[in-house]
Amino acid sequence: MINRWIEIEQPLLELEELIDRLEQLHRDRGIDKREEIVALKDQHERLLADIFANLTPWEKTLLARHDTRPYTLDYVERLFTDFTELHGDRRYGDDPALIGGPAFFDGQPVMVIGHQKGRDVKARQFRNFGSAKPEGYRKAQRLMRLAEKLGRPVFSFVDTPAAEARLEAEERGICNAIAESLAQMALLRVPIIVTILGEGGSGGAIGIGIGDRVLMMEHAIYSVIPPEGCAAILDTFGRDARRGPEAAAALRLSAQDLQALGGIIDQVVPEPLGGAHRDYGAAAAALHDALVSTWGELKDLPADQLVEQRYQRLRNLGMRLGPLPEPAPNGVATEPLHTATPEQPTGAA
């Protein structure tokens, strides 16, 4: 049973609680409720399918942030064997918000890196809500250099609202750390497969988000800024964070939109009906299949070809989109951020 819910799941919660009560009556008191239970389960399945067939961008955002959504270590447990977490950036310290280390994927040696959020209050404080600090990105760089030295592919898992932005992070060079990470990943001479698991937020996401292929879970989001932050700083939304749902639609942050917008991501990985938080095993199995297929496309490519293709992928992002419109006198664009070509829907990531 899921312990935490978002608004769209409330009707499902009510049905599941009723089913539980009827099953308890049937089990403990011998009262025959089988027909009612079957009917309610059918109703539950129909409602579940209906809700998740019509999600808005804001509802996708809430799902991506779901408290019980599987995090990086949940997938590591199900996808990899012999994972050994390595710590520290060898310059300042360790950052629990970004984990990594060697492991085996289907018997093949790999390097795993990824953001890690916390499940309860204590763990969230320890993991800094998945917002990595400079030492986190420098630790990731250290592990990627080790992967290159050993000839191991890098499996990167993104799940962060943003990088840490408080004063101490600025003092220790968060911008420089992310920039160095981007430069290193662009030139790394081993395959890099990136998967966006939940939130792909701002520079915190792209700090470990450069790869040969970028996969994205069906109900994940990927955006230059959280919707509330976008609404809070743009005149378009009256600088009102409460208009986050409108900003979510404008940002085109869903996996489906991003795949269409010039191939910003390469593949959408299906989730179990109702979201990955309902069935960790099924979500991991779908991701496993996607990773196997993607790894098969990359594993035999020469290093020079990998680097060149990665470069071309970055250079060609969004090439199907039209030119940026001229800004209005007040600095606010009067048109959508991109003008669509005949093959491409209007919008921008």
Q: Are residues 72 and 117 in the same domain?
A: yes
Beta bridge partners, 101, equal 112
Look at residue 321 in the predicted model and tell me its pLDDT. 54
Ranges assigned E (strand) in the chain:
98-105, 108-115, 154-160, 192-201, 213-217, 221-223, 267-269
Q: Of 30, 54, 78, at which residue does a domain stop?
A: 54
Q: Indicate whether 82 belongs to any domain.
A: yes
Determine, yes or no, domain membership for 324.
Answer: no
Total structural domains within the chain = 2
Q: Do 89 and 25 share a structural domain?
A: no
Residues of the chain above pLDDT 70, percent: 88
Q: Is the pLDDT of residue 17 over 90?
A: no
In a domain, 296, yes or no: yes
pLDDT of residue 35: 77
172 located within any domain: yes
Same domain, 12 and 154: no
Long-range contacts of 5-13 (CB under 8 A, 24+ apart): 6/59, 6/62, 6/63, 6/66, 7/62, 8/51, 8/55, 8/59, 8/62, 9/51, 9/274, 11/47, 11/51, 12/44, 12/47, 12/48, 12/51, 12/274
Residues 207 and 243 in one domain: yes
The answer as to whether 326 is a domain residue is no
pLDDT bin (cut points 50, 70, 90) of residue 4 is low
pLDDT class of 104 with cuts at 50, 70, 90? very high
Residues 156, 284: one domain? Answer: yes
User: Can you give the pLDDT at residue 246?
Assistant: 92
In this predicted structure, the answer to whether residue 330 has a pLDDT above a threshold of 50 is no
- CA atoms of 309 and 312, how far apart (whole Å): 5
Mean pLDDT of 234-263: 89
- Residues 30, 74, single domain; the answer is no
The 10s digit of each residue's pLDDT in 182-232 is 999 999 999 999 999 999 988 999 999 999 999 999 999 999 999 999 999
According to the model, what pLDDT value does residue 19 have?
A: 77
| Pick from 33-47, 137-151, 307-321: least confident | 33-47
Q: Are residues 46 and 94 in the same domain?
A: no
Q: Are residues 79 and 11 in the same domain?
A: no
Determine the average pLDDT of the residues in 313-317: 86
Q: Give the C-alpha separation, 203 to 134, whole Å.
A: 12
pLDDT at position 348 is 39
Residue 78 placed within a domain: yes
pLDDT in tens, 116-154: 999 889 999 999 999 999 999 999 999 999 999 999 999
pLDDT at 24 over 90: no
> How far is it, in rounded angstroms, from Cα 147 to Cα 334?
47
Under the banding of pLDDT at 50, 70 and 90, the label for residue 299 is very high
Dihedral angle computed from the Cα positions of residues 98, 104, 109 and 115, in that order, rounded to the nearest 10 degrees: -10
pLDDT of residue 7: 77
Segment 21-33 shows an average pLDDT of 73
Q: Which residue has the higher pLDDT, 83 or 55?
A: 83
Q: Is there a contact between 221 and 264 (Cβ–Cβ < 8 Å)?
A: no
User: To the nearest whole number, what is the mean pLDDT of the chain?
Assistant: 86
Domain-located, residue 345: no
Mean pLDDT of 261-280: 90
pLDDT at 346: 38
- Indicate whether 1 belongs to any domain: no
Break the chain down into helix, strand, coil percent, rounded to 5: 50, 15, 35
**Within this chain, do residues 33 and 153 fall inside the same structural domain, yes or no?**
no
The answer, yes or no, to whether residue 335 has pLDDT greater than 60, is no
Name the least confident of 66-80, 179-193, 252-266: 252-266
* pTM for the predicted model, two decimal places: 0.83
pLDDT above 90 for 315:
no
Assess whether 214 and 114 both reside in one domain: yes
Which spans in 244-316 are helix H? 244-251, 255-260, 280-298, 303-315
If asked whether residues 11 and 81 sit together in one domain, one would say: no
**Domain that residue 23 falls in:** 7-54
Same domain, 13 and 144: no
CATH code for the domain of 173:
3.90.226.10
